[in-house]
Structure 1
């Protein structure tokens, strides 16, 4: 089996998005999944010594490895300093407030209450309803990305909501992307949701092809 490149995988996903038949989409994606499982992994571009060093850094609890706020750079921060910066930020009551308890269960009940009438009036399908109903009790987590281009390297707060109560709902809403330009309203027919980390890659690929 020949090695697969990232561009080949992206090209396949782009082709899937252009298909109108959901059955054909699933068939193509399943076929690609089978190919990926049997494909050869590309040769690593780092040495064994570098791999060992990276593993050692990950296991060092005294440091925290983070992506920077802008750009493709990775930085290493002292963990105590990093945690203190986040703590100071969260102590600002103009930014956040402390809740008496985790509201995850309450939000799950609220979302179910809102979705049931939509299903009952055929505003959403049973498939969409099942997808949007939260099953996990994952509470969003906050982390900070260092602004290395600014004095004293402040952190930009980022809330990771993957797997949380509203995660699937957010993805569902993002598929209905529309926007306006020069007074004309458009609807996005294909591609990743605007703001998705892969958006730029897919856009560049689309223009090149």
Structure 2
């Protein structure tokens, strides 16, 4: 329903569905440490230190997440996000994705 032609990679990406979860490129270490520190202030200091140490061990052992999309798909996704001329939404019925011109959508 869009006047913008989609590339094969963009179509492939949209076929995965709107519920498809893209693997993160990094483990959110800073957010985890911040959450641990806020919790640590609520418990005994010795237990908090042990808790921090266990979390640190787990973070050190975490491998870099493996990407579940290709670099081309990642570039296509970023291009679709930045394109203000189209709206992407789920269809009213079925498990489909609709791409519409923004003017028509509004």
TM-score range, shorter chain: 0.3 to 0.5
Higher helix share goes to which structure? 2
Report the TM-score when normalising by structure 2.
Answer: 0.37
Higher strand share goes to which structure? 1
Report the TM-score when normalising by structure 1.
Answer: 0.20
